[in-house]
Amino acid sequence: MNRKQSLLIAGFLAALLTTGVVTVSSFVANAANQPAAVANASAAPTADPTAQSDVDAAYLAEVQTTLAAREAALAAQLQTSKQALTDLDAQAQAQIAAIQSEVDAAVAVAQERAATLAAQQQELAALQQAIEQDGLAFQQELAALQAADAQLTEQLTAATAQLQAAYSEIAARQQAQVDAAANNSQSSNQGGGWNDDDHEEHEDDHEDREDHDKQKEHEDEHEEHDDD
């Protein structure tokens, strides 16, 4: 703003100086023409050229004095205007330098903030990438756990089915042994001609067979559990 004001003042002073020069030139031209007019006007009443010359010389001296005074005043005004322009320019230069310093500082701060923002954006991108990688790894681990769980469930179902089949087979064998024992008991009761020793020996053999069958079933069941 001060720079603009300085330019406006300089333009105004230049216009003022031009106006003064034009005015002085017009005044000198009028002064040069005025003695001839006075001489023409006074030619009729007097014919003394010496007196007229003295009047003209005095008038010219007065005009020159007036012009010199005006020129001095204009020169002083011009010098004052130049000094004012110099002072304004110095102030403007100082203000411009201060503003430039502020602008440079603001640019440095903006660049620093831009660098910080770029670093934060890089950190954010790296964090997002890490989160995506962790999510992918979690999905893979979850899929593996689900597959393992499905496999274990399938194995457990198969083992349960085998165990149920083994239990059913054992129950069928036990039922067959019970039925066979009942049939043997009925046969013994019907064949009453046997002696007691033969009957006891038959019962001992039957008990031995039952014990042997139970032991074999227990071993088979143990082997099935080992297989599971």
- Contacts (Cβ under 8 Å, ≥6 apart) of 143: none
More confident residue, 203 or 150: 150
pLDDT digits (tens, 9 = 90+) for 30-41: 555 554 444 444
Q: What's the pLDDT at 192?
A: 47
At residue 221, what is the residue type?
E
pLDDT digits (tens, 9 = 90+) for 115-166: 999 999 999 999 999 999 999 999 999 999 999 999 999 999 999 999 999 8
Q: What's the rounded mean pLDDT across residues 200-228? A: 57
Are 13 and 78 a contacting pair, CB within 8 Å? yes
Are 67 and 24 a contacting pair, CB within 8 Å? yes
Q: How confident is the model at residue 44 (pLDDT cuts 50, 70, 90)?
A: very low
Q: What's the pLDDT at 25?
A: 59
Q: What's the pLDDT at 115?
A: 93
